[in-house]
């Protein structure tokens, strides 16, 4: 069995998700290509060696450039802080490595474009970490849209809410710095945008307002925006609304989607990620109503994890599916990934939203 040498930069929440996914993907999908955890890099050598022992990597380094230079590494997973994505990804691609990089793609549009150009020039696989598109429920919703079950989509509403910045007394953090990006737009809104692309197509124009519920933390001015609200015009002609809020008390991981069509409606909430609601106008009006579609083995690739409906998949399972899709792309097979071309289109939308806020006007994407 052939192996695929894996390098990982960053071992926090998402870095651990990548490591777990690489460890599980071959057994889950009966892959003929088996990932091998070769080299991990962290902020310092001591932490890198600690994480290598915990996660199962053979080598460790306090410098991510060591992964670039390691001939045993074929793919580099990037889970480092957002401002480092561009430098690591471009160096990896230019060294002939494939790249699986967490979102957002970069903190500036120029960096995102440079990443896209590097991927195009090298021909290596370059994928972004949008694992929510891998959900069997989302795949089924996409199939229903394509099959015309709810008719032509005329309006969409998207919300992403969490409460990790809801506490007014919380100290100033890295995500409050302008260096980290815009805030809710590129930290959050990119996820519902990736889902929107799959379900209803790209955005052509936006009107956006951003806000800060708390002007300062730890006696330092907050430089990013925790809340963003955007009116959307989709390329297909539908209207839309997107709201992203990092200060929403009680919300833990909510991505709410409402798709309104000429023949029906679909509803989804990431906090109940193994189901969605479907309304169609079929049948007698007296018996029409929303029905819940529960994910099960009939909705691939759920069957790769659990042989029975109702047991449910989780966040890390979607990362395993994403690893499988990245491997498929590397092997030249059809793959469901957000590549750097689509990633740049999502970034263009986010930057148009930020510009709309500054100019107080509609902005074309």
Whether residue 138 sits in one domain with residue 104: no
Whether residue 200 sits in one domain with residue 119: no
Q: Who's near 359: CB < 8 A, 6+ residues apart?
A: none
Q: From CA 227, how far away is CA 211, in angstroms rounded?
A: 5
Residue 13 domain flag: yes
User: Which residue, among 2, 6, 32, has the nearest Cα to 18 in the 3D structure?
Assistant: 6
Whether residue 138 sits in one domain with residue 9: no
Residue 242 domain flag: yes
User: Which residue, among 305, 326, 306, 338, has the nearest Cα to 35 in the 3D structure?
Assistant: 326
Q: What is the pLDDT of residue 32?
A: 81
Whether residue 163 sits in one domain with residue 219: yes
User: Which residue, among 45, 61, 44, has the nearest Cα to 7 in the 3D structure?
Assistant: 61
Whether residue 297 sits in one domain with residue 190: yes
Q: Domain boundary at 123, 141, 165, which?
A: 123
Q: Domain boundary at 100, 123, 146, which?
A: 123
For every residue of 82-116, which 3-state class applies, written as one string? HHHHHHHHHHHHHCCCEEEEECCCCCCHHHHHHHH
Per-position pLDDT tens, the chain of length 365? 599 999 999 999 999 999 999 999 999 999 889 999 999 999 999 999 999 999 999 999 999 999 999 999 999 999 999 999 999 999 999 999 999 999 999 999 999 999 999 999 999 999 999 999 999 999 999 999 999 999 999 999 999 999 999 999 999 999 999 988 899 999 999 999 999 999 999 999 999 999 999 999 999 999 999 999 999 999 999 999 999 999 999 999 999 999 999 999 999 999 999 999 999 998 899 999 999 999 999 999 999 999 999 899 999 999 999 999 999 999 999 999 999 999 999 999 999 999 999 999 999 99
Burial of 109 (0-12, 13-18, 19+ CB in 10 A): middle
Host domain of residue 118 = 3-123
Whether residue 281 sits in one domain with residue 338: yes
The CATH number linked to 307 is 3.30.360.10
Residue 325 domain flag: no
Residue 354 domain flag: yes
Q: From CA 354, how far away is CA 182, in angstroms rounded?
A: 8
Contact (CB, 8 A) for 189 and 227: no
Whether residue 166 sits in one domain with residue 64: no
Return the SS3 of 233: strand
Residue 327 domain flag: no
The CATH number linked to 59 is 3.40.50.720
Whether residue 169 sits in one domain with residue 288: yes
Q: What is the pLDDT of residue 1?
A: 55
Whether residue 222 sits in one domain with residue 254: yes
Whether residue 112 sits in one domain with residue 213: no
Q: Domain boundary at 106, 123, 140, which?
A: 123
Q: What is the pLDDT of residue 278?
A: 98
Q: What is the pLDDT of residue 125?
A: 98
Q: What is the DSSP letter of 183?
A: B
Q: Could you give the number of structural domains in the chain?
A: 2
Whether residue 226 sits in one domain with residue 78: no
Return the SS3 of 349: helix
């Amino acid at each position: 069995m052939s192996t695929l040498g894996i390098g990982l930069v960053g071992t926090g929440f998402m870095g651990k998700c990548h490591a777990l996914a690489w460890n599980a993907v071959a057994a889950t999908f009966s892959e003929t290509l088996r990932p091998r955890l070769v080299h991990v890099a962290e902020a310092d050598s001591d932490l890198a060696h600690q994480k290598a022992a915990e996660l199962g990597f053979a080598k460790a380094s306090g410098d991510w450039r060591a992964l670039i230079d390691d001939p045993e590494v074929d793919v580099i997973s990037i889970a480092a802080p957002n401002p480092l994505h561009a430098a690591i990804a471009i160096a990896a691609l230019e060294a002939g490595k494939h790249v699986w990089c967490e979102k957002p793609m970069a903190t500036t549009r120029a960096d995102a474009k440079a990443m896209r150009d590097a991927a195009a020039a090298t021909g290596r696989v370059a994928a972004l970490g949008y694992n929510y598109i891998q959900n069997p429920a989302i795949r089924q919703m996409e199939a229903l849209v394509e099959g015309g079950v709810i008719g032509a989509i005329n309006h969409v509403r998207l919300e992403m809410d969490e409460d990790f910045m809801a506490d007014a007394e919380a100290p100033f953090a890295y995500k409050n710095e302008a260096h980290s990006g815009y805030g809710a737009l590129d930290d959050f809104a990119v996820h519902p945008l990736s889902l929107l692309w799959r379900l209803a197509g790209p955005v052509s124009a936006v009107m956006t307002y951003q806000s800060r519920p708390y002007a300062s933390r730890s006696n330092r001015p907050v430089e990013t925006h925790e809340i963003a609200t955007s009116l959307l015009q989709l390329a297909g002609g539908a209207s839309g609304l997107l709201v992203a809020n990092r200060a929403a008390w009680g919300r833990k991981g909510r991505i709410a989607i409402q798709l309104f069509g000429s023949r029906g409606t679909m509803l989804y909430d990431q906090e109940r990620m193994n189901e969605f609601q479907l309304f169609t106008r079929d049948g007698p009006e007296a018996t029409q109503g929303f029905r819940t579609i529960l994910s099960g083995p009939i909705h691939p690739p759920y069957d790769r994890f659990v042989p029975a409906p109702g047991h449910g998949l989780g966040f890390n399972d979607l990362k395993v599916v994403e690893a499988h899709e990245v491997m498929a792309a590397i092997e030249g097979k059809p793959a469901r990934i957000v590549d750097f071309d689509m990633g740049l289109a999502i970034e263009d939308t986010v930057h148009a939203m930020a510009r709309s806020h500054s100019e107080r006007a509609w902005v074309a994407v």
